[in-house]
Amino acid sequence: MSGPDTGTVTVTTAGGIAVIRFANPPEGFMDEGTEAGLTDALDRVEADDSIRAVILTGAQEGVFIRHYDVRVLEARSRKLAARGMVFSPDRPVPEPALHRNMRRIETSAKPYIAAINGTAMGGGYELALACDIRLAQAGDYPIGLPEVNLGILPGAGGTQRLPQLVGQARALEYCLTGRTFLPHEAAEAGLVNACVPGPVLDHALEMARRMAVQPPLALAHIKRLIRGAAPDPDRLALERTLFCDLMVQDEAIALMARMNSTGSDIRNP
């Protein structure tokens, strides 16, 4: 059975800065409600020329976005496997809404800051990867891409964007071992720009205010030039296709089912 579709996304604006907040109590998972809410939020902030910078953060204490709801993934996997679905690079999987939204963030003329206020793994960290800046609040919580522990791979751009931050060798190490990091470790490893004390949103707002007073065309051109090496769309298509290929494998379905039945953690299902 899939989990409840309860994820909500809210937007507040002030002083040319939009703050997009994610909530899905109690665990803070991403689900289809979160995806739809993100689409609506981006529609709003991208259409408003008065918004000069955008911050993404969690509305729940200690959680940015925990990761994609594995109950939903297991249900999708079983449905695809029951239909005998086979996935091949020769037939790339179409780009879903979440992936389109990540590309919107990457290619937007506005700067986006991920204010990571708590656990950010899997799809949650992949969303942060799509942002221009990542700040993490100091604390005892995990950041990273542990999908291999479920027999799958980071399927929302993680295998393509992480190497741009930390290099190919370290990205291979982190993804192949499913390693996650405490915030200060994530800063040292390059997964986030900085680990900051106190409420991370305060630091993100301070940075956003400095950006918001700059000429928007200058921000847009700088972002376009620096982010010119954005992930290859064909490589992203290959990633999501191979992700689906893993989802229908018996081993992955068994690992997801075990995690869901025992209530264990994605880092140790």
Active site residues: 126, 147
Residue type, 168: Q
| Alpha-carbon dihedral angle through residues 254, 261, 2, 60, given to the nearest 10 degrees | -120
Q: Do residues 160 and 235 lie in contact, with contact meaning Cβ atoms separated by under 8 Å?
A: yes
In this structure, what is the dihedral angle of CA atoms 158, 161, 164, 165, given to the nearest 10 degrees? -60
Closest CA to 7 of 39, 42, 37: 37
Backbone angles phi, psi at 263, to 5 degrees: 70, 25
Cα angle for residues 225, 53, 217 (degrees, 5° grid) = 45
Nearest to 266 by CA among 78, 63, 121: 121
Q: Which amino acid is at 80?
A: L
Tally DSSP H helices, then E strands, for the chain.
Answer: 11, 10
